Amino acid sequence: MFNLILFGPPGSGKGTQSEKLIAKYGLKHLSTGDLLRSEIAAQTPLGIEAKSFMDKGQLVPDEVVIGMISSALDSNPDAKGFLFDGFPRTEAQAEALDKLLKLKKTAIHLMLAMDVSEAELIKRLLGRGKTSGRSDDTNEEVIKARIAEYHKKTTAVADYYMKFDKVKHIKGEGTVDEIFAAISKEIEGKI
Ligand code: AP5
């Protein structure tokens, strides 16, 4: 089993690169953002609660996303590995994920952290907001709040995995294919 975290600020390209990675390596893609947006579309109580945080650019409470990931791991017993996209986003989520994977006698093997400048992130997200229908992409203040949450709560997750020597940095600017080639190179050495 090979378990990968694709890490980076909002708009760094996690979703874009995930699509290519799952096609190449056959990993099961677990995006907490996508799971939350499905709950919102289905208007479940969880989705209604999550939307109030997401629309402000704030993180959804840990117990909500940890519960979703726990169910997703249980629902995919035959996966050859997982690609975590947008999770973990706090140290508490990272610790919970380690425990869940340990119960399944596996672990995180690699975290790839994509580095992109703030100006480029804002440009990409405002650009996507014109067509995506994502309410958190249309307002620059909300985009800035998401980036601020990342600095306040999420960068600590990279420090957490750094202690276990599991982090590699990737230059997240350039063409999608150039970035994918750099990511694939790091994975080839570990998978
Ligand atoms: P989530 O859905 O995870 O969104 P995000 O982290 O804000 O990331 P994005 O999907 O916006 O960006 P991305 O890095 O995937 O980039 P993408 O490939 O899409 O989270 C949304 C919200 O849900 C959070 O704010 C929070 O409220 C909640 N949430 C989710 N997970 C949570 C958790 N674990 N805990 C608590 N709350 C949670 O690309 C972005 C754009 O850039 C696209 O238009 C793309 O085409 C373009 N692009 C990509 N690569 C390039 C490139 N190389 N050059 C030019 N453009 C590019």
Domain boundaries, the chain: 2-27+79-188
Mutate which of 53, 97, 124, 140 for ligand 1 pocket (most atoms within 8 A of beta carbon): 124
Mean pLDDT, range 107-128, rounded to an integer:
97
* Fold classified for 2-27+79-188: Rossmann fold (3.40.50)
- Kindly state if the Cβ of 147 falls inside 6 Å of ligand 1: no
Task: Name the active-site residue from 134, 144, 153, 168.
Answer: 134
For the question of whether the overall pTM of this predicted structure is more than 0.85, the answer is yes
Point out the ligand 1 atom lying closest to the alpha carbon of residue 176.
53
State the Cα–Cα distance between residues 135 and 123, nearest whole angstrom.
16
Structure-block tokens of residue 66 = 């940890």
- Kindly state if the Cβ of 166 falls inside 6 Å of ligand 1: no
Question: Does pLDDT of 96 surpass 90?
Answer: yes
Mean pLDDT, range 83-96, rounded to an integer:
98
Amino acid at position 44, single letter: T
- Kindly state if the Cβ of 6 falls inside 6 Å of ligand 1: no
Question: Closest by alpha carbon to 58, among 162, 190, 154, 168?
Answer: 154
Under the banding of pLDDT at 50, 70 and 90, the label for residue 133 is confident
Under the banding of pLDDT at 50, 70 and 90, the label for residue 154 is very high
Is 124 catalytic? The answer is no
Under the banding of pLDDT at 50, 70 and 90, the label for residue 171 is very high
Close Cβ partners of 58 (under 8 Å, ≥ 6 residues apart): 145, 149
Query: If you take atom 2 of ligand 1, which residue's CA is the nearest one?
Result: 33
Question: Does pLDDT of 189 surpass 90?
Answer: no
Question: Does pLDDT of 3 surpass 90?
Answer: yes
pLDDT at residue number 104: 94
Q: What is the mean pLDDT of the chain?
A: 97
pLDDT at residue number 114: 98
| Spatial contact of 188 and 131, defined as CB atoms under 8 Å apart | no
- Kindly state if the Cβ of 87 falls inside 6 Å of ligand 1: yes
Please, what sign has the CA dihedral across residues 138, 140, 145, 148? positive
